[in-house]
Amino acid sequence: MILNEILKIILYGTLVILFVSVNALFLVWMERRVSARIQLRRGPIHVGWQGLLQTVADAIKLLTKELVTPSHADKFLYWLAPVLVFAPAVAAFLILPLADHVVIRDLNIGFLFVFSLTNVSFIGIFIAGWSSNSKYALLGSMRAVAQNISYEIPLLLSTMGVVMMSETLKLSGIVSAQATTWFVFPQFLAFVIFIISALAEANRAPFDIPEAESELVAGFHTEYSGMRFALFFLGEYTAVFISSAIAAALFLGGWREPAVPWISLANLGPLWYLLKTYAIVFVVMWIRWTFPRLRSDQLMALAWKVLIPLALLNVFFTALMMQVFEK
Amino acid sequence: MIATEKDMKDWLIEVIKPEEMNDRDFLKTGVFFEAVVPKNKIVEVAREFLTQGYFLESLTAVDFAECFEIVYHFNRWDLPKRACVKVVAAKETNGIDGGAGVMPTISSIYQSADWFEREIFEFFGARFDGHPNLKRLLLPENYRSFPLLKSFKGEAAGSDVTQSLELIKEYAHEFEVKTPHSITKKENDYYLNLGPQHPSTHGVLRVLLHLSGERVLGAEPIIGYSHRHHEKMMEIQNYLACWPNFGRLDYVGAMSYNFGYARLIERAMGLTPSPRVEHIRVLTSELNHIASHLLWMGTFLLDLGAFTPFFYCFDDRENILDILEMATGERLTYDYFRFGGLDRDIPTEIIPAVKKFIPGFKKRLKDYHTLVTKNPIFEQRTKGLGILTKENALKFGVTGPTLRASGVAMDLRRQESYSIYPELDFNIPTATDGDVFSRYLVRVREMEESLKIIQQVCERMPASGEVKMKVPKNVPKGEYYSAVESARGSFGIYLVSDGTLNPYRIKLRTPSFSNLSALKTMVPGCLVSDVIAILGSIDIVLPEIDR
Amino acid sequence: MAHPVSPAPGLVNLFRVEDVINMARANSLWPLTFGLACCAIELMAGGAARFDLDRFGAGVFRPSPRQADLMIVAGTISRKMVPCIKTLYDQMPAPKYVIALGGCATAGGPFKYPGQYGILEGLDKIIPVHVYIPGCPPRPEALIAGILELQKLIKAGKTEGSLSPAVVNDSQNNRPAEYKNAISRAEFRKPPAPPVAPVAPQA
């Protein structure tokens, strides 16, 4: 039994790491091509067919770069930070339901597990700026602290409506509860709030103030080079993917096919899930290249004065509607 | 009471009793009168000029054999009333070798004089009594010579490897942070260096920020990282050879600089270019104006975090550069104008190309309005930020769109009515708030006005005309000041010509110099992100500041 | 200079690891945003939509020197700027490459004349340069050509740099400066002498 478990852990672990790497490679390529198209240009097209090997070249280059440690940095924390940022994002793949009863570990706390782990990621960001012993990095970290704490609340509050309607925290249960209609229709406001908060949690523009390129040189990862920087990069893209995957599971019906009569490919569960996730990722990238950046105090005003009241209202309204329709 | 130049002249004669008072021909020399006042009266003169609503346009020094002349130019916003006030300072024999002695400072009255006087100190050795911070401005602090003195014959900095590596050691301590003169340090404050290598400083500018958390308590720009000794270089070149310098001062708006130089020498020599030349000059100038504003807009929005408009602005700009390349052969650092004419005539394909460009660009401007001007995040980031009051604008000598956004409709194209601008129909856009958003709006509207001008010029372009002219060999002896409106403000040149092949002294009065010195009034109380936005909205080009 | 050793021919030709890594490095150059003067505008135009450096993988401009591997010095180097450039170069992790863009970074450009006091006549006097791109300013196409040249150098493995300036014995530096001396102010302000009336020829 124990051997069985250990073999399963190794197998799933390897699969997840492989998937994360290939996915990150693909996502970075997608970002560069999507942004290029929005910006009237082509993007990487020469390295491999249509530039698909561009990220591979980037990865090899980053792997073979010199690792520089600033002279007065706190060495242990400086080493630890990128690991803390990247590892939890990988662990979040445990609970994603790929098809009916196909999931690595169907935890009964479901997506709360993911969000607790992303908080560990955020501690990594904080440690990165602190241990670098550089003013720019510290400014970036302080902004990250304020931002991530503020956006945790609307992120979780917006999912409460969904949880109430499906009466379980398990992701597989939530997907099953969307047999008749996807939750994006009754919970549209929650969907919007969730996407905005997820953007802020992943430090993506227009909320990328901790790594604001034009203001803070490179924010909290100013002093990181080579593979350590690559881990931050990977962590950010994986966080975007995870948030989109959870949004797809919570609101867009996960692996369920759309309920229209002429589509009846019920066995393509994982493919539908991937498609929905990438659709949300595409919208996230689209948003990045369209809007200017919010200033840190405006960002927090948005969270506390707009998103949290709206999310609370949504919870209240959902509860009311459930009472009314139960009778 | 609005003073006319006659009143200022009368006041000077009655109250100050100048040593010399000469009338000057405004059309030839650019000033109405020239007064030489004694050293101890200059502060009183400056105070009266400020009360009467004049701003300090330029302050420089000229090195003669037996004495120095410190030259002050004052001008007004509403009418062209440029006055030249001079102080003759004796040379010191025991201090700096051949350097000027001690002068009173007017920086308590005109804050723009702060930087002008520092520059005179570092290039001529003149010391200003009472100046709050008399340190070098454009050269490293421990540099020993005074370059613009006639006795200085050059000092090659990096002509071999050993010398160059020595420079690194010599100037390495420049970056130690010392308490700036205007800031008192408190418990939890700290200093942050923005630049000289920073994605948003538009060139190599260093701003020393005094911060408490993320609140800015003070900002001090430190310039000189792009100093390329234009003024000293021009003293060794003949007038024709100076043309490439003007292309490289403000490289994004180089046509106006060409215009300024051409206008200066043509007024001095009394030349009138043909109407075709004037039309072509205005056409290329206004196209360059739009290109400069487009580049500004792209980089400004990039500073705010909007990555995409940069590419659209550059795309539009490339279309304009194609047209200008057809005419001049260059993309960027133009030296297209010549005295009395142009380097070459424009090819026949240009006017159709311009006519094709205009409707496409009008559509793009509408897109910019929809996506940027009405964007709520953009409005939140820029409204009410970095306000420049009219009083500060006067004291700091701010000109250009930065001034027009504070409600003052000063534009040299209207005020001095040069070239064919009096015959063209265009408005001067202004805004009243004086914040970052107003400056953005003024520049976008200026692009629309420039389009109007271009349309009119295309329709009335004379079919033929002489583009070259025979000009006298030397510029007649005398002192001349000429100013034109560039994309950043009023660009002025002060020339002292001794009748030979080379200029004796050229002073370049660049708009970004005075505009940047006003940064410290717009910044206190805001966040670090806002400093970047405010800096971007002033629209500076560093080589024009550092010359 | 040692010539590169070619692998022995065999039935199956495998790439050496070095070649793979060099190809990766060549195709993934991340420039440092470091424009000094006029050439910086052409550098920005090179990264913009029409010329698009990103096609070659070189479009990710990183603001922090720790994350960049290509330093494109675009513009004139003034006295004050010299220690900055050296510091930035030292902060970049190896392997790093340098392109001198424009005449000023190559050898001083139009600002070099006998009697100059303010500029460094060429970047290669303080750091090793791999590619020089002349021009004032060079067109973005020239910049792309320079980057492709650098990619060729990297793929061939020929990027060991040393301080060997391109311009060493310059005749310009031996000429004396031709500055004029000061003139007298009194002389300068004297009104021009009235034109002499032509003397009637002696009978």
- Which pLDDT band, with edges at 50, 70 and 90, does B204 fall under? confident
Looking at residue B409, the DSSP 8-state letter turns out to be -
**Is A120 an interface residue toward C (CB < 8 Å)?**
no
- Which pLDDT band, with edges at 50, 70 and 90, does B99 fall under? low
The pair of structure tokens assigned to A158 is 């917006």
User: What is the signed CA dihedral for C152, C158, C163, C167, rounded to 10 degrees?
Assistant: -50
Mark yes or no for CB contact B504/C163 under 8 Å.
Answer: no
Do the domain assignments include residue B140? no
Mark yes or no for CB contact A214/B528 under 8 Å.
Answer: no
pLDDT digits (tens, 9 = 90+) for A296-306: 888 888 999 99
In chain C, the N- to C-terminal Cα span, in Å, equals 87
Query: Closest Cα partner for B547 from B232, B335, B295, B235?
Result: B232
Q: Mean pLDDT over residues B286-295, rounded?
A: 94
What percentage of chain A carries pLDDT values higher than 90?
13
Greatest C-alpha distance within chain A: 68
Question: What's the pLDDT at B454?
Answer: 94
Do the domain assignments include residue B173? no
Token pair 């902004």: residue: A143
* Spatial contact of C122 and B160, defined as CB atoms under 8 Å apart: no
Do the domain assignments include residue B188? no
Mark yes or no for CB contact B311/A41 under 8 Å.
Answer: yes
What residue numbers bound the domain in which B105 lies? Answer: 5-129
Go through the domains of chain C in sequence order and give each one's CATH number.
Answer: 29-156 (3.40.50.12280)
ipTM: 0.87
Beta-carbon pairs below 8 A across chains A and C:
94
pLDDT digits (tens, 9 = 90+) for B333-344: 898 999 988 998
Question: What's the pLDDT at B94?
Answer: 47
CA distance B248 to chain C (A): 7
Do the domain assignments include residue B421? yes
pLDDT digits (tens, 9 = 90+) for B34-65: 999 988 888 999 998 998 889 999 999 998 88
CA distance A51 to chain C (A): 8
Query: Closest Cα partner for B150 from A163, C177, A258?
Result: C177
Do the domain assignments include residue B44? yes
**Is C19 an interface residue toward A (CB < 8 Å)?**
no
Question: What's the pLDDT at B280?
Answer: 93
How many beta carbons lie within 10 A of that of residue A321, not counting itself? 14
Number of domains in chain B: 2
Which pTM value belongs to this model? Answer: 0.90
Do the domain assignments include residue B183? no
* Spatial contact of A47 and A54, defined as CB atoms under 8 Å apart: yes
CB-neighbour burial class of residue B271 (10 A; exposed 0-12, middle 13-18, buried 19+): middle
Distance (Å) of CA C44 to CA A20, A105, B13, B290? 34, 49, 55, 18
What percentage of chain C carries pLDDT values higher than 70?
79
pLDDT digits (tens, 9 = 90+) for B309-322: 889 999 999 999 99
Closest partner residue to C38 (CB to CB) among B160, B161, B251 is B251
Final residue of a structural domain among B112, B129, B146: B129
Q: Are residues B242 and B106 in the same domain?
A: no
List, in sequence order, every residue forming a beta bridge with B489; answer none if it has no partner: B486
pLDDT digits (tens, 9 = 90+) for A95-137: 888 877 777 778 888 878 888 888 888 888 888 888 888 877 8
Final residue of a structural domain among B91, B109, B129: B129
Q: Are strands C70-74 and C97-101 parallel, antiparallel or unpaired?
A: parallel
Mark yes or no for CB contact C54/A223 under 8 Å.
Answer: no
Judged by CB atoms within 8 Å, which residues 199-228 of B form the interface with A? Answer: 199-200, 214
Q: For all residues of chain C together, what is the average pLDDT? A: 81
Q: List the CATH number of the domain containing B310.
A: 1.10.645.10
Which residue in chain C is spatially nearest to A58 when comparing CA positions?
C28
Question: What's the pLDDT at B1?
Answer: 42
Query: Closest Cα partner for B258 from B332, B357, B325?
Result: B332
Q: Are strands B190-194 and B206-212 parallel, antiparallel or unpaired?
A: antiparallel
Q: B159, B193, B317, B330: which to substitute to probe chain C, counting the most C Cβ within 10 Å?
A: B159
Question: What's the pLDDT at C6?
Answer: 43
Question: What's the pLDDT at A307?
Answer: 92
How many beta carbons lie within 10 A of that of residue B347, not counting itself? 10
- CB under 8 Å to B3, separation ≥6 — which residues? B11, B52, B53
pLDDT digits (tens, 9 = 90+) for C60-104: 888 888 888 899 999 998 888 888 888 889 889 888 899 999 999
Task: Tell whether the model's pLDDT for residue C10 goes beyond 80.
Answer: no
CA distance A225 to chain C (A): 5
Distance (Å) of CA B303 to CA A245, B205, B526? 32, 15, 16
Final residue of a structural domain among B129, B154, B175: B129
Question: What's the pLDDT at B175?
Answer: 61
Task: Tell whether the model's pLDDT for residue B288 goes beyond 90.
Answer: yes
pLDDT digits (tens, 9 = 90+) for B466-523: 888 888 888 888 899 999 999 999 999 999 998 888 999 999 999 999 999 999 899 8
Q: Are strands C70-74 and B478-486 parallel, antiparallel or unpaired?
A: unpaired
**Is B528 an interface residue toward A (CB < 8 Å)?**
yes
The pair of structure tokens assigned to A317 is 């309204």
Token pair 């280059």: residue: A61
pLDDT digits (tens, 9 = 90+) for B362-381: 999 998 888 888 888 888 88
- Which pLDDT band, with edges at 50, 70 and 90, does C119 fall under? confident
Which residue in chain B is spatially nearest to C105 when comparing CA positions?
B158
Task: Tell whether the model's pLDDT for residue B263 goes beyond 50.
Answer: yes
Q: Are residues B96 and B237 in the same domain?
A: no
Q: What are phi and psi of B497, to 5 degrees?
A: -110, 130
Token pair 């990988």: residue: A90
Residues in B closer than 8 angstroms to C33, CB to CB, are 197, 199
- Which pLDDT band, with edges at 50, 70 and 90, does A13 fall under? confident
Q: For all residues of chain A together, what is the average pLDDT? A: 85
pLDDT digits (tens, 9 = 90+) for B213-260: 778 888 888 888 889 989 999 998 889 999 999 999 989 999 999 999
Q: Are residues B243 and B355 in the same domain?
A: yes
Judged by CB atoms within 8 Å, which residues 307-336 of B form the interface with A? Answer: 307-308, 310-312, 315
pLDDT digits (tens, 9 = 90+) for A261-295: 666 665 677 888 888 999 999 999 888 888 888 88
Helix (H) or strand (E) run with residue B484 in it = strand B478-486
- Which pLDDT band, with edges at 50, 70 and 90, does C4 fall under? very low
Mark yes or no for CB contact C50/B498 under 8 Å.
Answer: no
* Spatial contact of B487 and B293, defined as CB atoms under 8 Å apart: yes
**Which value, in Å, is the radius of gyration of the alpha carbons in chain B?**
23
Do the domain assignments include residue B214? no
Question: What's the pLDDT at C150?
Answer: 92
Question: What's the pLDDT at A229?
Answer: 86
Closest partner residue to C125 (CB to CB) among B160, B228, B314 is B160
**Is A49 an interface residue toward C (CB < 8 Å)?**
no
Which residue in chain B is spatially nearest to A207 when comparing CA positions?
B305
Least confident of B162-166, B283-287, B532-536, B537-541: B162-166
Task: Tell whether the model's pLDDT for residue A17 goes beyond 90.
Answer: no
Judged by CB atoms within 8 Å, which residues 266-325 of A form the interface with C? Answer: none
CB-neighbour burial class of residue A316 (10 A; exposed 0-12, middle 13-18, buried 19+): exposed
Closest partner residue to C66 (CB to CB) among A60, A213, A224 is A224
Question: What's the pLDDT at B317?
Answer: 92
Task: Tell whether the model's pLDDT for residue B185 goes beyond 80.
Answer: no
Q: B300, B367, B377, B385: which to substitute to probe chain A, counting the most A Cβ within 10 Å?
A: B377
- Cα C135 versus chain centre, distance: 9
Question: What's the pLDDT at B180?
Answer: 52
Question: What's the pLDDT at C184?
Answer: 86
Mark yes or no for CB contact C173/B228 under 8 Å.
Answer: no
Q: List the CATH number of the domain containing B26.
A: 3.30.460.80
d(CA A168, CA A157): 15
Token pair 């050795």: residue: B125
- Side chain identity, residue B250: D
Do the domain assignments include residue B209? no
Mark yes or no for CB contact C37/B225 under 8 Å.
Answer: no
Residues in B closer than 8 angstroms to A295, CB to CB, are 380-381, 527, 529-530
Residues in A closer than 8 angstroms to C27, CB to CB, are 46-47, 54, 57
Q: Are residues B267 and B376 in the same domain?
A: yes
Distance (Å) of CA B141 to CA B97, B192, C126? 18, 20, 21
- Which pLDDT band, with edges at 50, 70 and 90, does C7 fall under? very low
Task: Tell whether the model's pLDDT for residue C3 goes beyond 60.
Answer: no
Closest partner residue to B332 (CB to CB) among C81, C137, C183 is C137
